[in-house]
Chains A and B, each alone.
Chain A
């Protein structure tokens, strides 16, 4: 079953300041969309608004997940329906170990799957031995030390370790759609490759019941897109998507910078969704 995350005419802001000025975007299962644009264009705002961060206010437009109004759902419900936000700055949660946190997050998903008929979220096995093994394997894949299982979530992690932890969570929780907010910022080239490896594994996962991994990959830079090839590239400027196209756009942006996008007309949803 293919799934759809659809955004139309979205207007939103923070503390009375409007940042998104009518944004249109549609993402289907199995598609990786890169979202590029200069600082302050509203990329992180979009990521937070879609995930239900209560600090932001939606003032117009709509967003839906498989036809269901996203803004009628709490952040919790959005997560349980398969939306995942990989944070640009993951917060520290003292006293809560990575192992316990992830186990509970998986339980919550399988409980939700079990009590929601026709839920796209599969019911988990609730098998602790299986869980620990799969966590250990996934950590090894992400080249993380096994001792992280017993460390407090994000506490004292380096920037790169925090980013790997976000990707590890995605690999464990297998969301339908991930909004990945600058997962590449502050990473050296080796760490970047590991993060990209994780994202590609999600993309190549064939055990997902026909639901390919859909992602909105928010970034400033080309280098992550060299590792995780996007299907679509969008350029954001002043709260709108002003240009959409294929992977070739990445090279063009690198050559020309962002200044020229200011003069572009806003494309219609039909063009974006193609």
Chain B
């Protein structure tokens, strides 16, 4: 990673400010066994977790970088900081969060959001979760919403049973890296039959420069339960790259339903390389709503493994690739049981030389019957410099399968622009209207507050598009 890059931060990135680094502990630059041990020691972890980290570090070193997808040549693993602790303890009372961090989240509207429409909130600042809360009625029903470090201490049985089972540390280079140095994230357990009707939210903020954030999220929805989990992400704009490499594992037991919504708005110097995977058992439903607006490079393909009959998986993917951005996103669906169904809907927009790629896999294992899958990819290209790619892969090993795949690429039509201008819209507003209309069917699937936020972000991205 070069110390200086040619990248000029966009003035319109509203979360691009940063606070003075006041972390109470951080590791030196680079990554080795000592650093992994230091992170583990900071967390007073049991030995089994330390051993897991060390095995993962060794896997990370052996694994090659992906030879496909976005250009990752700018990542210099030796130049990054892998751990920074902003305060001593995670707190449950907002008043106890240190003032500087509190100001950050206040500016991002986090506690305000909690009061308004959330069942629980987690806020992570660099490596650690600084704040966690959950509505009392939910904790009384046995719902657990905490950081994974606390879960390792207080719920070791659940953690040992599920941690790293959906995404093994050997899965890929970045999952191995996360497994070695993970810190923060969320642990959610929803007991049998409990419905969490309003969403839980986690908010991730990177503050330090040249920093790697490696949160780890594990969601276990017990039989017949329901939960909607939302994450938002931002970072300051620096001239050097940061790395965000999360691992998210979801287990939806029989009849459970989990919806996971991401509005990713990292600043345009963050490499966002995330592994997200869910397992859905009998009659379970897992939905990923994945909006990628920010980051320099994103590689993320939320996956659902449909392992029980009657299971259903759904991925809604929205990507916006502007100047200097490469959004390599998509979905993976693995049908591992009969009578399973899946829907993947991808909408991407590229402008100003941005590259938006849909990369997807639908796999149907051998000997299954009554499997249905539908994949629809729509891409909108706003100018001649921008690119859209579609890489759909189908691996179908059974016969009784209905697979539909549609891919459409369109440019904003001159005729559409002219039509709206002939009704008094400026060219800029006409473009924005067409883009917002393109996304409308997906935005409708979001909770209202997030739909508003997403529309606002798209509006910012579209500013200055014309003339």
Contact = CB atoms under 8 A, between A and B. Distances in A.
From A51, A78, A93, residue with most partner B Cβ within 10 Å: A93
Contacts of A152: 437
Contact of A91 (B416, B427, B436): B416
Max chain A C-beta neighbours (<10 A), residue from B420, B426, B427 = B420
A134 interface: no
B404 interface: no
Interface string B424-441: 111100000110111111
B9 interface: no
B416 A109 contact: no
Contacts of B437: 93-96, 152
A101 B430 CA distance: 11
A80 interface: yes
Contacts of B438: 94-95
A43 to B, nearest CB: 17
Interface in B387-433: 413-416, 418-427, 433
A91 B419 contact: yes
A96 B422 contact: no
Q: Identify which of A55, A93, A95 gathers the most chain B CB atoms within 10 Å of its CB.
A: A95
B418 A75 contact: yes
Interface string A167-191: 0010001000000000000000000
Interface string B71-99: 00000000000000000000000000000
A76 B433 CA distance: 14
Contacts of B441: 95
B367 to A, nearest CB: 41
A108 B425 CA distance: 7
| Chain B contact surface mostly | helix
Contacts of B422: 51-53, 75, 78-79, 84-85, 87
Nearest to B430: A76
Contact of B420 (A84, A93, A95, A109): A93
Contacts of B439: 95
A108 B440 contact: no
Nearest to A121: B424
A90 B439 CA distance: 21
A52 B425 CA distance: 13
A79 B425 CA distance: 9
Measured as residues with beta carbon below 8 angstroms from the partner, the interface class of chain B is 20 to 34
Contacts of A101: 423, 433
B420 A74 contact: no
Contacts of A74: 421, 427
Contact of B421 (A79, A87, A96, A109): A79
A61 B312 CA distance: 65
Contacts of A91: 413, 415-416, 419
Contacts of B423: 79, 101, 105, 108, 169, 173
B98 to A, nearest CB: 44
A84 B423 CA distance: 7
A246 interface: no
A104 interface: yes
A148 interface: no
Nearest to B436: A95
A108 B420 CA distance: 11
Contacts of A80: 424
A112 interface: yes
Contacts of A109: 424
A229 B69 CA distance: 64
Interface in A203-235: none
Nearest to B427: A76
B433 A93 contact: yes
A54 interface: yes
Given A94-B438, A95-B437, A95-B440, A76 B418 contact: no
Contact of B418 (A54, A94, A112): A54
B424 A87 contact: no
Given A91-B415, A91-B416, A95-B441, A76 B436 contact: no
Contacts of B434: 93, 96
A80 B422 CA distance: 9
B424 A52 contact: no
A271 to B, nearest CB: 31
A52 B420 CA distance: 12
Nearest to A79: B424
A176 B415 CA distance: 23
B416 A93 contact: yes
Contact of B414 (A55, A90, A105): A55
Interface in A63-93: 74-76, 78-80, 84-85, 87, 90-91, 93
Contacts of A78: 422
Contacts of B416: 91, 93
Contacts of B425: 76, 104-105, 108
Contacts of B415: 91
A53 B418 contact: yes
Interface string A113-131: 0000000000000000000
A105 B427 CA distance: 13
Interface of A: 51-55, 74-76, 78-80, 84-85, 87, 90-91, 93-96, 101, 104-105, 108-109, 112, 152, 169, 173
22 contacts: A55-B418, A74-B427, A76-B421, A76-B426, A79-B421, A87-B419, A91-B416, A91-B419, A93-B416, A93-B433, A93-B437, A94-B437, A95-B437, A95-B439, A95-B441, A96-B433, A96-B436, A96-B437, A104-B433, A109-B424, A152-B437, A173-B423
